[in-house]
Amino acid sequence: MIYLLTASYCEASAWIVHYRLKKDTGQTRFQVFENQDAGIRLVITGEGGIAAAVAIGSIGTQYRAGAEDFLIHIGFCDNTLPGKTPASALFLCNQILEQETGNVYYPDILYRHPFQEASVCSGITLPSQVRCEEPIRRLYDTQAAAIYRAGSYFFGPHQMMFLKVTPKSGQTAVDTPEAIKSLIGIHTKPVAAYIARLKAAGQKEERQEPVSGDLLETLCRDLYCTKAMSLSLEQHIRYCMLAGIDYRNRIDGLYREHKLPCKNKREGKRCFEELKQKLL
C-alpha cells in the first residue's frame, strides 16, 4: 500500500482524481481517501507538524504498515531556492533539518527517481539564517520533520519519501487553493510513475526473504558496529536484495582478504565504509 499524506484538500485533489479515490466515511478524525485495487490510501492531515504526527500515529496503528508499504508526503512550499526556476519545480528531499532542535534526518533514497533533490528545513517559524543556512539548496516546510519522526515508528527510512512542489522563482505568494491545486497537478504524471516503481519494489520486497539475523549479528560483531551502523548495514543489504546484487560474495571477499573480523572500533569503522561502497 502507498500512503499519501497531504496537509490540505487542494494538495490532495489531483491524486484523488488520478487514482479515483473514494472517501472512507468511517474515518472521523481525518479525511481518508482510498482505492484498494490501486493500492493507494491518501490522508489529509491538516496543517502543522502536530496534526501530521497524530495522523500518522492513527493510520499506522490502524493499518499496521508492512515492509512492502511506503509513506509519501507531498505538499506545496514557497520557492526560496537560489537561482532562477522558470516554472513550478518538484524536489525529493534528501535531508530534513528540524528547526527547533537542530536534529538532521536522512531519508534513504534507494530507488531511482527523475526529480531534483534538495534539503528541507522543517519548523513552525521561518528558518533562521544561522541554523538553516544552506549553500546549495534549501526548502522550508512545517511538517517534514514531524512526519519523519512519527513515521519512523511504523516505516523504515527507505519507506518514507518527501516531495515538495514549488512555484517559479519569485512567485512566493501562491496561497489560493486553486493555484496550489494547479501547481500540484503539473507533476501528477512523473509522481505517478515514481509511485508505480515503488509499488513494484514493494511487491518484490513482500516476496523477498528477510535479511538473515545470523548474518547481521556476525557482521555487526566483526565490524564493532554501533546501533546506527547496524541499521545502516541492514538497509544496504536490503538494497542489494532488491537490486539482485550478490552481497554475500562481496562480504565474503572481505573475510578472504582478512579485513574481517576487525581488531578494534577504529578498524571496524574503516572496514564498514569500505563494505558500504562494495554493496552499492
Residuewise pLDDT in 10s, the chain (280 residues): 999 999 999 999 999 999 999 999 999 889 999 999 999 999 999 999 999 999 999 999 998 888 789 999 999 886 566 555 556 789 999 999 998 898 999 998 888 899 999 899 898 765 444 444 444 457 888 999 999 999 999 998 889 999 999 876 545 555 688 888 888 999 999 999 999 999 888 776 555 556 667 888 899 999 999 887 887 888 788 778 777 788 889 999 999 999 999 999 999 999 998 998 888 6
pLDDT the model gives residue 126? 52
pLDDT score of 175: 63
- CB of 53 closer than 8 Å to CB of 146: yes
**pLDDT score for 143:** 93
Residues 163 and 202 in one domain: yes
- Do 60 and 93 fall into the same domain? yes
pLDDT for residue 278: 85
Identify the domain containing residue 125 by its residue range. 2-206
Residues 20 and 110 in one domain: yes
| Peptide bond between residue 177 and the one before it cis (omega within 30 degrees of 0) | no
Return the pLDDT at 22: 97
Residues 43 and 94 in one domain: yes
153 and 195 co-located in one domain: yes
Instruction: Specify burial of residue 246 (Cβ count, 10 A radius: 0-12, 13-18, 19+).
Output: exposed
Q: Which amino acid type is present at position 247?
A: Y
12 and 81 in a common domain? yes
Residue 67's CATH number: 3.40.50.1580
Q: Which pLDDT does position 209 carry in this prediction?
A: 59
pLDDT at 245: 83
Give me the pLDDT at residue 210, please: 62
Beta bridge partners of 116: 91
Q: Which residue, 106, 97, 94, 107, is CA-closest to 129?
A: 97
- Which of 164, 179, 206 finishes a domain? 206
SS3 sequence of the chain: CEEEEECCHHHHHHHHHHCCCEECCCCCCCEEEEECCCCEEEEECCCCHHHHHHHHHHHHHHHCCCCCCEEEEEEECCCCCCCCCCCCEEEEEEEEEECCCCCEECCCCCCCCCCEEEEEEECCCCCCHHHHCCCCCEEEECCHHHHHHHHCCCCCHHHEEEEEEECCCCCCCCCCHHHHHHHHHHCHHHHHHHHHHHHHHHHHHHHCCCCCHHHHHHHHHHHCCCHHHHHHHHHHHHHHHHHCCCHHHHHHHHHHCCCCCCCCHHHHHHHHHHHHHHHC
Same domain, 244 and 133: no
Residues 6+ apart with CB under 8 A from 197: 111, 112, 113
What is the reported pLDDT for 45? 96
Q: Provide the pLDDT for residue 136.
A: 45
Same domain, 59 and 192: yes
Where does a domain end: 161, 182, 206? 206
Q: Are residues 176 and 159 in the same domain?
A: yes
Residues 118, 254 within the same domain: no
CA 121 to each of CA 39, 164, 239: distance values in angstroms, whole numbers, following the listed order: 30, 12, 27
Query: How many whole angstroms separate alpha carbon 40 and alpha carbon 214?
Result: 35
Report how many domains make up the chain. 2
162 and 227 in one domain?
no
**CA pair distance 174, 15, nearest whole angstrom:** 20
Task: Please identify, among 206, 229, 248, the residue that sits at the C-terminal boundary of a domain.
Answer: 206
Same domain, 139 and 220: no
Sign for the CA dihedral angle at 169, 171, 173, 174 comes to negative
* Among 45, 57, 226, 43, residue whose Cα is nearest residue 149: 57
Q: Is the full-model pTM beyond 0.75?
A: no
Find out whether 115 and 92 touch, Cβ atoms under 8 Å: yes
Output the pLDDT for position 134.
47
Q: Is 131 exposed, middle or buried (CB count within 10 Å of its CB: 0-12, 13-18, 19+)?
A: middle
